[in-house]
Amino acid sequence: MPFPRFYIRTALWERLPYAERIMYVLRTASAKDRELTVCGISAAAALGYTSTYYQQRYIHTVARKQSEAGRHGQYIAHYIPNAESIMSNGVRTTNPMRTMFDCARSLDFSTGMTICTMGLRLTGSTVHSLQSYCADMKKKRGLPRARYVAQNVDPACTNGGEAIAYAAGLELGFAKPECQRKFINPIDGNPIFVDFTWTLEDGSLVVGELDGREKYENPAMTGGSDAVAVTLREKERESGITLRGIPVVRFQMSHVRNRLQLEQRLLAAGVPQPNKGMPTPFTGFVCNEY
């Protein structure tokens, strides 16, 4: 029973990746109530913008009447009058732009940034379109947070991990990097795309690379190569950057989660930190959505 009164065979459940576990729950809820429309982080999962399982403790739904809004057991209803909806993966959800807007204003900064990053990438929408959508909204709770996310999101981040690391750097006050900048390898002339690039005051560059286990283990990312071949390929890429006289700082998701370790690495690499300690619309905000 992964959700109250929702049942599935244990052996099947344990074989499912987290993204499919979330979808089983959402599809079951939709089958129980054909009028159900999910919103917020539930809609983001149905649309494929996030698959973080622990954040899906509740099912977030649209309430058409203000009197119906609030928490009802494991359901949280949000008053969204005249909400436009679409079908996605067998679940009725708020439309993509509304989903990104609601996540940006109600979730913590890194999660909102990740969902908006992946949402823009998957829909092909522009940052300007999200900024315009947020600018047109009036008198909504969390509106300054939504506009701040729209101002800073960068769909050039290729996955959720990069988006989280990008957001963490901004929260620590570091300068905004350029994501997925292209360099030419002086050895063979092939292009190299790097995760993050910072430009220093003197015009010199610093490259940041996020390392994750998936890069070395996920067949979709390894191209069928084993971990040793992927590691050697990464070293070859780094050689192409360092031969151009550009230092490379590498960090892992464990460093991103432990902000002090990420800060130490970026400072040691000389990355500028002009916004350290400056308040943002997220300062003091506590997310209660999951």
**pLDDT profile of the chain (290 residues), mean per 10:** 94 96 97 95 98 96 94 95 92 98 98 98 97 95 97 96 97 97 92 96 95 55 55 78 94 95 97 96 94
Burial (0-12, 13-18, 19+ Cβ within 10 Å), 158: middle
Query: Beta-carbon neighbour count of residue 147 at 10 Å?
Result: 20
The pLDDT assigned to 206 comes to 97
Query: Which residues, in sequence order, are CB contacts of 173 under 8 Å at separation 6+?
Result: 273, 274, 275, 276, 277, 278
The pLDDT assigned to 228 comes to 61
CA distance 36 to 45: 15
Chain-centre distance for alpha carbon 138: 25
The pLDDT assigned to 216 comes to 44
The pLDDT assigned to 229 comes to 64
Task: Give, for 79, the enclosing helix (H) or strand (E).
Answer: strand 75-79
Residues 71, 60 contacting (CB under 8 angstroms): no
Query: Which residues, in sequence order, are CB contacts of 242 under 8 Å at separation 6+?
Result: 248
pTM across the whole model: 0.90
Which residue intervals of 48-199 are DSSP H helices? Answer: 96-106, 109-123, 127-136, 143-152, 160-171
Residues 122, 49 contacting (CB under 8 angstroms): yes
Q: Reduce the DSSP state of residue 218 to 3 states and report it.
A: coil
CA distance 120 to 139: 24
* Cα dihedral 150, 152, 157, 163 sign: negative
CA distance 94 to 100: 10
Q: Reduce the DSSP state of residue 252 to 3 states and report it.
A: strand
**Which amino acid does the sequence have at 182?**
K
Query: Which residues, in sequence order, are CB contacts of 240 under 8 Å at separation 6+?
Result: 183, 185, 186, 187, 190, 192
